[in-house]
Structure 1
């Protein structure tokens, strides 16, 4: 309670007193021009900036390839990307369009240089496998956004209050250069999953830092000359961006949490099927497979019959979806020699079959010009299918020969190579109206079965119904149409009517 002219005057409400105190005691202490000068000193393009980008990118990609956290942290410390991002945040706070363009150019140029340089290093490197350090930067989630938000607020506070030492910790926490190096790795190895996930992580960190820096700048009195309408639009823009980022990242976090819980439940279910001294030596789960694929290796002193079936049913009920469970029991400790020999023989046979499948998959992928993941293998029926990539100047006959060669390398297997949709061969007819060239007919029948599209047989005359029969016998939808020649049947893929 204050007194004025000997009369009591009510204290202002808290929601008015706090902003008034903040403006008079906190904002007034800030040298705004000095802060802006410090920000502008590091947010523009310069030879030093380009050199440090190259050095930081080189260190980051080598640390990722070597899976060395210490080396990756070193790249974070010298990365100059924080400068233009913080500068962008201050430019957004003051709505300085010229400075926004300048910082965006600096950031985009630096990111592009880093990606190209790291991709070049990966292309020259004999190590091109996805390490744990690379994999850790391909699935951003809501926690990454929160780390970037808290780190950016701390960094902006340090910049405004002149506590430069805090920036080092912020650089380590937000990790701007390693995601860009991971993008370069994905580009060099043509791995879109790695490149896309890492770029999303970089984009999340970059946008969050810039917006958080802008929020902190407004809080400390930068941009006070903005109108209420500009301030309101600025707030709506920042809130919309955070929501747009938080929704997909939140879904990603939910999926990661579900996968972690599923792995824990799978381990518990499998362990309960064996004696207490049994140990799970390896557990692999393919969450992209349908049904969910779970493979486990268990070290046990006693072979448990039907353990796979029982655990599979329980796990399917717990996860609420079909599960394909495969438990490999490795006998250790005491036991009869006969049982050990049988178990070892079964395990050896399984490994031989898996090795054969892996070799077959690699060969088919090489022949078809696709990734091994594009090859479908049914081990139970010993059948493999692959859709071939278009090859320059290759016709249907080329793909048929490739299939025959692949089948010759895998006796006992059914190999099917689906060719691209290419022109069918014409059929020369003899005096009786039958195909004169058996090879052309065989090629047309093979292509029709592999591609699965209906065919039109264009020939002049009404007595050519037998031409349709070979296709019908193989389940191919074929029909006769009017053609220009009576002694040559033109085969065409039927266009949707």
Structure 2
């Protein structure tokens, strides 16, 4: 009885209208002819690799694309795919030798060019090829489909060869760069990309060849041992691809989880201007810039909790928020305006916003109370009273913020907390503890713009008053005592507190 099910009808139609129209023997001979080693292949490989590495060093996509036009890599890799489909061990060896040999030659040639080049920086074009992702796999897949189909249908040419070379030649050039600069991250990252693309293209070409009727019957020179060896080779080649796919899949899902978590916290009126995940840090670092009509003080904590629930692991979240209008489409308009002006949310804005957030946290105040002088890179904030905290604690907080904000002058104004006593040694000079107390008092007096009253023995109190005067602090001896004690002078009620020296503070921009 004839098989008439939909599956069998479709197969019969495919054999009649697709496979039967392919000249298998002619295609197989043409593929084998282009898959071998030759002087032309070696020369074009060197020229393509040279142009590619120069384009990568100059970070010029146009030059990199130009290298693809003369790349001969399509022949060996398509030949390898067809050889795998026909289980032809001799052609597998021949195509593999040409592809691997040409690739090694291209890597060494690129490394030599990098060694003699004055440009050895990791450009954006190089960095983009050190961590394969899902889009790189799709590029390799579509390139293989285009190359295989064109070869089978007799339409192979330069344009299809460019598609294949796009997935192979740039990673080869980056491998050479990593080798020349002894950069393990670049070398192994680009090597993983090359292996991933290589396996994807070869296996896709083999599957396409099988679909169009290319099988072992076209190559009688095979044995059971050869078939087993081919299967083992395919399994071994699939290992790095599987590991890469697993990591790429997680990163892809993590990006979706992160974007969804940010959207859930800020609502539909907000727009995500930028979102990045750094998978090399532990835990994962999630940074985002959000255009929102409403500032959310607890956004970092909420996004971190939502992301951890979805992704199954935590992340260090840092979100920069910028206020936009509340009218219809205000966030979209702000995003378009930012893109048109190449980012109105500039690096300076981000730096100021991060500084304001950090100062508000350590000072225990709202962000609107922080004064920022952008032109002179100065920031000033009056801290709230921390129970039990001495002046040294506020001084330490200021130093820590200044340490992570290079180039900025930070002024953390402490409350008028009690001043420490100044202890002296046997030589009537302040000892180590006394010098530290004197330094804290001078710092606090400068921040608060207040005068100091000094009590203690005449000689020692005079020494302290002179130290204050030398630092520009108004100080007066008001009485005696056995030890030198300090206290704030009662300020003139009509006086205005002194601003930070040289600064003309302006409020921080709304966020």
Q: TM-score range by the shorter chain?
A: 0.5 to 0.7
Alignment partners' CA distance in 2, 1:43 and 1:56? 17
Q: Does 1:52 align with 2:41?
A: no
Q: Which residue of 2 aligns with 1:83?
A: 75
Which of 252, 256, 263 in structure 2 is aligned with 1:257?
A: 252
Cα distance, 1:231–1:15 mapped onto 2, change above 3 Å: farther
- Equivalent pair of 2:290/2:319 in contact (CA under 8 Å): no
Q: Which residue of 1 aligns with 2:335?
A: none
Alignment partners' CA distance in 1, 2:289 and 2:299? 13
Alignment partners' CA distance in 2, 1:283 and 1:189? 31
Q: Does 1:106 align with 2:98?
A: yes
SS at match of 2:352: strand
Deviation at 1:180, TM superposition (A): 0.5
- Equivalent pair of 1:158/1:167 in contact (CA under 8 Å): no
Deviation at 1:56, TM superposition (A): 0.7
Q: Does 1:345 align with 2:345?
A: no
Alignment of 1:285-300 (within 5 A): 286-293=278-285
Cα distance, 1:345–1:126 mapped onto 2, change above 3 Å: farther
Greater CA drift, 143-152 or 107-116: 143-152
Query: C-alpha offsets along residues 6-63 of structure 1, whole Å, 9 cap, x if unaligned?
Result: xxx8675554555455445544433333222321232111111111111111111111
Cα distance, 1:36–1:189 mapped onto 2, change above 3 Å: same
Q: Does 1:204 align with 2:196?
A: yes
- Equivalent pair of 1:72/1:178 in contact (CA under 8 Å): yes
Cα distance, 1:169–1:350 mapped onto 2, change above 3 Å: farther
Alignment partners' CA distance in 2, 1:230 and 1:224? 17
TM-score, with structure 1 as normaliser: 0.55
Deviation at 1:68, TM superposition (A): 1.6
- Equivalent pair of 2:131/2:190 in contact (CA under 8 Å): yes
Which of 302, 311, 315 in structure 1 is aligned with 2:303?
A: 315
Q: Which residue of 2 aligns with 1:482?
A: none
Q: Which residue of 1 aligns with 2:360?
A: none
SS at match of 2:379: helix
SS at match of 1:86: helix
Q: Which residue of 2 aligns with 1:35?
A: 27
Alignment partners' CA distance in 2, 1:270 and 1:126? 48
Q: Which residue of 2 aligns with 1:213?
A: 205
Deviation at 1:269, TM superposition (A): 9.4
Which runs of 5 or more structure 1 residues have no equivalent in the other structure?
Answer: 1-8, 358-497
SS at match of 1:184: helix
Q: Which residue of 1 aligns with 2:508?
A: none
Compute the RMSD of aligned alpha carbons: 4.6
Which runs of 5 or more structure 2 residues have no equivalent in the other structure?
Answer: 309-313, 321-350, 357-366, 382-397, 408-511
Cα distance, 1:341–1:39 mapped onto 2, change above 3 Å: closer
Deviation at 1:338, TM superposition (A): 8.6
- Equivalent pair of 1:76/1:175 in contact (CA under 8 Å): no
Deviation at 1:241, TM superposition (A): 6.5
Alignment partners' CA distance in 2, 1:293 and 1:175? 29
Query: C-alpha offsets along residues 446-476 of structure 1, whole Å, 9 cap, x if unaligned?
Result: xxxxxxxxxxxxxxxxxxxxxxxxxxxxxxx
SS at match of 2:92: helix
- Equivalent pair of 1:144/1:205 in contact (CA under 8 Å): yes
SS at match of 1:329: helix
- Equivalent pair of 2:168/2:197 in contact (CA under 8 Å): yes
SS at match of 1:224: helix
Greater CA drift, 313-322 or 256-265: 256-265
Query: C-alpha offsets along residues 306-351 of structure 1, whole Å, 9 cap, x if unaligned?
Result: 95xx44433332332263759753599xx99992359823699889
Deviation at 1:71, TM superposition (A): 1.5
Q: Which residue of 2 aligns with 1:415?
A: none
TM-score, with structure 2 as normaliser: 0.54
